[in-house]
Amino acid sequence: MNIGIIDCGGANLNSIYYSFKRLGINAIISNSLNELSEMNAYVLPGVGSADVVMNTLRKRDLINFIKCTNKPILGICIGMQILFDYSEENQTRCLGIIDGNIEKFNVNDGVNVPQMGWNKVECDADKNLNGYYYFANSYFNKDSKFTIGYSSYGNKFSSIIKKDNILGCQFHPEKSSKAGERFLTYFIKLI
């Protein structure tokens, strides 16, 4: 099994790579269509802003590749957010694979922005995914029909989404210790 970590300008590529390596999974970091087409699954990594990530994917001619593949894709943090239609972050049109929008947390809801640190995830679809994960985000999806895991930060929001071959998480599994390993193992079982 080979996982392609799509280089879309994020800063956490090596953390994700080593997380899979610890689980005994072969992964590569690439932005080459030829290399990526040989992989069994993909990760859209999770550090950056929506507009920068979308512009990078556009420049590297990866948007149609991502939208058209039927292989499993894991979107992490911003990698999950760009799966939606639109992000308030710099008014960015995203991939449109999942219906819905990404909003910014509001300090008027009594929270610090960004959310930084551990937060609880509740997943009815798989109780093994319940637990505390590490978050680092200013933006979120409030509620999608594809949400299978929720967290709360001022308001309830989508922390795990799943649609067809797509899995997304708002948290960073590569920074979430044993819970993160359980989540990555969950993704690997989808492949």
Q: Which two tokens stand for residue 151?
A: 């967290």
- Please state, in angstroms and rounded to a whole number, the distance separating the CA atoms of residues 56 and 60: 6
Eight-class DSSP state of 36? H
Active-site entry in 77, 94, 123, 169: 77
Strand boundaries in the chain, DSSP class E: 2-6, 26-30, 41-44, 73-76, 84-87, 92-93, 98-104, 115-123, 131-137, 139-140, 147-153, 155-163, 166-169
Reply yes or no on whether 38 is catalytic. no
Query: Is residue 56 a contact partner of residue 21, using CB atoms and an 8 Å limit?
Result: no
Eight-class DSSP state of 29? E
Active-site entry in 88, 89, 172, 181: 172
Reply yes or no on whether 77 is catalytic. yes
Active-site entry in 8, 89, 169, 174: 174
Reply yes or no on whether 169 is catalytic. no
Query: Is residue 29 a contact partner of residue 5, using CB atoms and an 8 Å limit?
Result: yes
Q: In what order do the strands lie in the sheet with 131-137?
A: 26-30, 2-6, 41-44, 73-76, 166-169, 155-163, 147-153, 115-123, 131-137
Residues acting as catalytic residues: 77, 172, 174
